[in-house]
Structure 1
Amino acid sequence: MKKTAYILLLALGLASCNYLEIEPVGKVIPHKTSEFRALLTEGYFRFPYFDSKTYTGLLSDEAGYFYEGTIWEASVGMALSYNYRWDYGRQMKEYPYRDYYRAIFQAQAVIDDILDADKDSEESNEQIMAEAYALRAYSYFDLVNLYGAPYNPETAATDRTVPLAPEIDIEQKYRPSNVAAVYGQILDDIAASERLMEVEKQETNYNYRFSKHALTAFKARVKLYMRDWQEAYDLSASLLPEYELVDLNNPPKADSLPWKAPSKEMIMAWERPFSGAAGDLRNAGFLSEHLLALFDEANDNRRAYLKKVTDYNTSTVGYVPDRSSSDRVSIRIAEMYLIAAEAGSYLPAELENAKTYLLTLKANRLKPEAMDAERTKVEAMNAEQLRAEIADERARELVGEGHRWMDLRRTTRPAIVHKYGDQTVSLVENDSRYTLPFPQSAIDSNPELNN
């Protein structure tokens, strides 16, 4: 197994000689606990923690204007404009694919051999293995939700999606799998991680890594996407007593805002949100008028964290999330309140609790003088109306964090209209383009994807 695994890692350019000895010449093989930690750390790094979040926003109703500034080279900007127009041909900027498999292969290499590693640190081999299983599950979850139909229990077994690679084997043919099989692998990996995970909650400097809390939160997200309302509700609600919400009526220091790694809301700080940093404004999208209209500008404290920017080519003014390029956010407790509310809305016995969870989040985001009317409105809602309000609250709360496109495709798949110059382009309701095709580069390197 080692020979096959590490030859493949070398072929993919995954191995790094700065932390692994060479034995024999031409093969990179870790032996020690610290070396496997380094290998897994590179797996976290190989995961496309930026592109996967930023560029799905261009597909959704989160984006409403395409910024065509001159800071970035024209070829990249033109490629992104095809994403914005849902033109999934060769000219678009490809969404991550290979980088997910790089992370998966590195996690697999850890899973295969970590338990036999020589101990040279206080960290346990089991903890590292648990994180590797979680990393593999998280990677497959993104892949199946980019390149597979939304989970539908009636069709998941036949809905085509990405290949599974549960073993590293250069002789294996990586053919498309189905949505049910990939979700099955995700759940198996989560279960394996649960059996091994030792760290309950990572310290701030290490909260890009998985922990028991992060794994529970991720599982709640998976169960929400699978429409397993009871388990999604139970898992998310179990975490609520463990964390505090940031009250934006008493603004904290800048590094303690909800989307900052040191925040008391943060469960896992790994991926980079779309931000107002100069690097992200290069040919990126302004927030849509539709999204901006969801905010009560007078009473929603989150509105102050949307930054006004200008397209200097056209003098068009728009807004983007006011985030730093150093921000990292994958899972925070606000999402768990929203999952508990949404899942609870499908459970008649939990409907009132679902309303309470939503109102608890709102009370920490809206000005106090707005809450009486908000409570009256929410308490009068039936389950369907509550779900619509939760969808809008997710759009407000999780803006720029990579959720909106996934939320639209897993729920109503509505029509979306984008304007590009003097063009108007659209997705129709339930458009097939809510599922991305395999990237052309992946097909070129693996013709089996056509089978």
Structure 2
Amino acid sequence: MKNIYNSILCTLVLAITFTSCDNYLDDAPKGSKVPTALADFEAFLRDEYTNQSVNVEQALTLLNDRYQTVADLAYYRLTKANYFWDETADRIALNQADETTYYGQYAGISTFNLIIENALKTTEATEEQKRIVWAEAKVLRAMSYYNLVNFYADTYVASTAATKLSVPLITSADINAPSKQVTIQEMYDFILADVKDALPYLPKVSQTALHPNLGAGYAFYSRVFLQMNNYTEALKYADLALAENNKLYNWVAYYNSNKAVIDIPNSYTNTPSPMGYDYVENYTYRHGATTRLSTEMSIPVDRAKRFEAGDARFLSRWKIRTVGAETYYRRTLSGMFNYGGITTVEIYLIKAECLARAGQLGTAMDVLNTVRKTRILPASYQDITAADVTTAMNAILRTKRNELILTLIPFTDARRLNAEGVYKVGFTKIDGGTTYTLSPESHLWTMPFPQGATKNPGNGTLTQNVAK
């Protein structure tokens, strides 16, 4: 992993010289600053392009949640293989340049390691303030590892997690730090331990939306336990998170307030995104693609069909458009979008799923409908009821996929559900007269490591988790 840290450390050294680089610089060069105060390290948490970005473009492509132009599909061969679910494609050979997910998450991890190693030794701060920054970095590191293990490794299955490999684990910011490709179980144990360490010190109120608070810690714990099929613990921490923040944004009101602009035929004038730093649903905020911090993504026509009728959130975000031979739903919001963090709606729907699995169908539907009432226009709204678990689960999962579209969560949920084998996720589409299918058992659900990582693993080894 030396190549990761070479690039990251070069960037950091340009701005500062920190004390852990004694092997390179014993004295700070003239005009540079040696960080010793807590504020020097806390500032790294605000680096949105490097440390607060979660680019999972190929997962969105596999789900066909993001629209891909004909030109992009012709040029980007890996994107084409995932978009058309080509199981014959050698994605390892094709993955020569798509390294943003891998190196982006490890760049953030490098920074969080630096903070974790140094925060408690800093000056100009109380012990409580030091612990808060240390805890925030712990949660963000755990979130980054969660993204990696759920992108490049098979999904968590208790019976195989201790034998299957995940991703390299690095816990030091030292440029010569060793890396070990640990098992899936070891990685999940590490993630849970990081959050456990952090919880006693997380503040109830965030310094900014980029700083995880106590609600974020509980919410992330709930997400991880759900992925591990531990529904008791997932429900426990969902309730704790909602006790910290249970606000839902009223998308029906947003649509009605902006209806005059939204409904103009053939007009794509952007309305402001409410999903930015001050979104009431935020536990913690992280961006999506680094190159599109302030741009919504367009979606395919087939994907748009899977939204509920009268979904104000959908109507406020996309509008059908035809350009030449291409028809898609064009984005209509401008601003910021919390694609990589955690919001209350995810936790409401985790709670609903856990209740449904426990047989508490009425309560589960009450939770689901609490969300839907803020999303579905009154003319289309009707409470969903369920007399059996399957009906309840299908309703909950449909809503969750729509609510969290363009984030990693629909991808991780699909992998989890496919491994369970009860509520499997697969897709079929017809494009240009050809039928394409993504089966629940496909190897495409695990992304290959980029060639740059496997060819230069640094101070460790890296084994591909897929054959192609």
Structure-2 change in CA distance of 1:268 and 1:47 (3 Å): same
Q: For the residues of structure 1 that align with 2:288 and 2:103, how far apart are their CA atoms?
A: 19
Give the alignment partner of residue 307 of structure 2, picking from 280, 295, 302. Answer: 295
AA partner of residue 449 (structure 2): F
Superposition CA RMSD, Å:
3.4
Structure-2 change in CA distance of 1:366 and 1:39 (3 Å): closer
Deviations 1:220-253 (A, max 9, x none): 1111111111121122123335332222332277
- 1:406-421 map, 5 Å: 406-412=412-418, 414-417=425-428
Matched, 1:267 2:268: no
Q: For the residues of structure 2 that align with 1:430 and 1:17, how far apart are their CA atoms?
A: 47
Q: In the alignment, which residue of structure 2 is the partner of 1:13?
A: 10
Mind listing any 5+ residue stretches in structure 1 that lack a counterpart? none
Q: For the residues of structure 2 that align with 1:174 and 1:302, how far apart are their CA atoms?
A: 43
- 1:159-308 map, 5 Å: 159-168=164-173, 173-197=178-202, 199-202=203-206, 206-241=208-243, 242-251=245-254, 259-272=275-288, 286-289=299-302, 291-297=303-309, 299-308=310-319
Q: For the Cα contact (< 8 Å) 1:414–1:430, is it kept in 2?
A: no
Matched, 1:433 2:405: no
Q: For the Cα contact (< 8 Å) 1:9–1:105, is it kept in 2?
A: no
Q: For the Cα contact (< 8 Å) 2:54–2:286, is it kept in 1?
A: no
Q: For the residues of structure 1 that align with 2:446 and 2:301, how far apart are their CA atoms?
A: 22
Q: For the residues of structure 2 that align with 1:187 and 1:217, how far apart are their CA atoms?
A: 12
Q: In the alignment, which residue of structure 1 is the partner of 2:70?
A: 68
SS state at 1:426 partner: strand
SS state at 1:24 partner: coil
Q: For the Cα contact (< 8 Å) 1:10–1:28, is it kept in 2?
A: no
Q: In the alignment, which residue of structure 2 is the partner of 1:366?
A: 376
Give the alignment partner of residue 105 of structure 1, picking from 87, 102, 110. Answer: 110
Q: In the alignment, which residue of structure 1 is the partner of 2:362?
A: 352
- CA shift for structure 1 position 445: 0.9
Matched, 1:145 2:157: no
| Count of equivalent residues | 426
Give the alignment partner of residue 345 of structure 2, picking from 334, 356, 359. Answer: 334
Deviations 1:121-169 (A, max 9, x none): 9981111101111111011100100011111111111121101112345
AA partner of residue 368 (structure 2): L
Mind listing any 5+ residue stretches in structure 2 that lack a counterpart? 19-24, 259-270, 419-423
AA partner of residue 325 (structure 2): S
Q: For the Cα contact (< 8 Å) 2:320–2:330, is it kept in 1?
A: yes
Matched, 1:380 2:392: no
Identical positions, percent? 22
Q: For the Cα contact (< 8 Å) 2:211–2:284, is it kept in 1?
A: yes
SS state at 2:251 partner: coil
Q: For the Cα contact (< 8 Å) 1:33–1:123, is it kept in 2?
A: no
SS state at 2:59 partner: helix
AA partner of residue 353 (structure 2): E
Deviations 1:377-430 (A, max 9, x none): x32331122111111101222222332222211213533345665655433231
Q: For the Cα contact (< 8 Å) 2:296–2:334, is it kept in 1?
A: no
Structure-2 change in CA distance of 1:450 and 1:150 (3 Å): closer
Q: For the residues of structure 2 that align with 1:171 and 1:50, how far apart are their CA atoms?
A: 25
SS state at 2:15 partner: coil
